[in-house]
Amino acid sequence: MPIACVIGWSSQGPAQAQNLRESLEGSGIRVKVGLREGSSSMKEAAAVGFTKENGTLGEMYDVIRESDMSLLLISDAAFAENYKKIFAAFRPGTTLGVSHGFLLSHLQAEGEDFPKNINVIAVCPKGMGPSVRRLYEQGREVNGAGINASFAVQQDVNRVRDAQCKAATERYKKAIESRRVYKESKAGDKEYLSESDADAYREVARKDVLDRCGKVPTFDVNAPIPEPKPIPDPKVNPADATSE
């Protein structure tokens, strides 16, 4: 089950956690809250239904590790002190969300950046947490009620990963469906690989698909072979080997 979590329980935390939970009800996405172990805010979170017993409250780093999206709604001081440890808890391909720009500004001042293997977004309500919650609740009865917000995407690694997966899959498909594999020189001449070298190329292409996509698709090798179009090899690059 996908997990979206809210880290922190000050102004924005209670509002965004409850709003998310209600908006995502029935979607199959579980909303959790992550706090420091022993935080006095755990009682406040439990009072509105986020509890360890029902699996929706936990220690912040543990919650980040298991979540697909983590909204970091902690104080600026906590960001400055703990951002390296926070980043280390994110799994590749998951999403880090913030509600203001302090973390980005702090990283720029330190000459650092977000980890390159996660998505980074911002959803910044134009109001304090209590207003975010009050106007959300008002929206149950007043159509369109809510609060203005700014949105931003700092990093979209999943889009890049998907594009790389597609390119690797197309190259592998051409390699296994084709009779011959060749290298193409800058002058456009074709140098055909030996059978053993072609098999080695196909195997490296297969492993590249597995690394980039998490699985290797099955293709109909008896399907008609299309007219070959040489493509660059983003992984192996054996002199831009391709197939026909």
**Residue 32 one-letter amino acid:** K
Please, are residues 133 and 125 in contact by the beta-carbon 8 Å criterion? no
**12 vs 100: CA distance, rounded Å:** 11
**75 vs 212: CA distance, rounded Å:** 36
Q: Given the residues 65, 100, 206, 207, select the one marked as catalytic.
A: 100
Apex 186 CA angle, 183 and 189, nearest 5: 55
**44 vs 95: CA distance, rounded Å:** 26
In this structure, the number of other CB atoms found within 10 A of the CB of residue 239 comes to 12
The full DSSP string for 58-90 is EEHHHHHHH-SEEEE---HHHHHHHHHHHHHHP
**Residue 183 one-letter amino acid:** K
100 is catalytic: yes
Question: Active-site residue numbers?
Answer: 100
